[in-house]
Amino acid sequence: KLKLMECLHRFCGNCIEKCLRLGKKECPSCRIHIPSRRSLRPDTNFDNLLASIYGDINKLEQMEEKQIELVNKRKYMNNAYAESRARGIMQQATRRGNKKPNLGRFGNQPQPKPSSEGDASESQLVNFVLRRHPQERLVCRLRREYLRTSSDITMLSLKKFLKIKLSYEGDVSDFQVLIPLGEEKNGVILDDDYSIGYVHNEMNNTDHDIVLHYRILHKQKQTT
C-alpha cells in the first residue's frame, strides 16, 4: 500500500501510480492536488496489519485468482451445456418426435394408471404459468395464469382447458402452445402429446417455473 502525504489516503501502489501516470494529479478519494510521485510513501504499518490478519497477501491473491478462474470455467461449461441442450431440444421439436400421447384430465380421456403407490404425490405436481402470447389479440388472458397440475397433463389437454376457460367458439386445434426457448423469439411450438412433466424436465433451463404462451393459429394465417 502507498499513502498520499497530502491527505493520508491509502491506495494500491499500481493503481495510484497509474492514476498519476495518466495525468490525473489528484487523489481519487478527495480530489486534493498531488504535485508528483514524491508525495507517495509506503505504508508499512498498514501492510503489517494486513499481513497479521490475512497472512501472506501474495498467496491470498493467487488463491483468489485461481478460485475466480475455476468459477468462470465452470460457468462457461454450464453455459455451453445449456446452449447445446437447447439446440437439441429445438431440433427435436422441429422433427416432431413420435411420442405416444399422454392422456390428460381436462378432456374426457381416462386417467393414466399409476405405476406404483404414491404416484399421485406432491412430487408429480408441476407448477407453471400459462400466459397469452404477447402478440395474441383474438382471445383474452386467463384470469388465473399460475397453474398447478399433474405432470401427465398434455398440451392437447391444455388446449381443451383454454377453449373452455376462454369460451372460445372455434376448434381446439386452433390453439398453439409455445415455450420461449433459446434464440426462438416467438417460441417453440409444443406437440399435442407433450406432457407438462416432459416440458418441465427437458425444456426448462432455469430454476424458475416454466412459462408457456398460447395463441390462436388463425391469427398467424391472417397476418401472413
pLDDT in tens, 161-207: 999 989 898 899 999 999 987 666 678 899 999 999 999 888 887 77
What's the confidence (pLDDT) of residue 155? Answer: 94
* Inter-CA distances, 200 with 78, 151, 164, 220, Å: 19, 9, 24, 26
Structure-block grid coordinates of residue 75: 460457468
The domain made up of 2-55 is a member of CATH 3.30.40.10: yes
Beta bridge partners of 11: 2
Q: Which one of 3.40.50.300, 3.40.50.1820, 3.10.20.90, 2.40.128.20 gives the CATH number of domain 124-222?
A: 3.10.20.90
Q: 33 in helix, strand or coil?
A: strand
- What is the edge-to-edge ordering of all strands in the sheet holding 10-11? 10-11, 2-4, 40-42
Mean pLDDT over the full length of the chain? 76
Structure-block grid coordinates of residue 199: 416440458
Check: CB of residue 214 under 8 Å from CB of residue 130.
Answer: yes
Using pLDDT thresholds of 50, 70 and 90, give the confidence band for residue 65: confident
Residues 3-18: tens digit of each pLDDT? 777 888 877 777 777 7
Who wins on pLDDT, 88 or 114?
A: 88
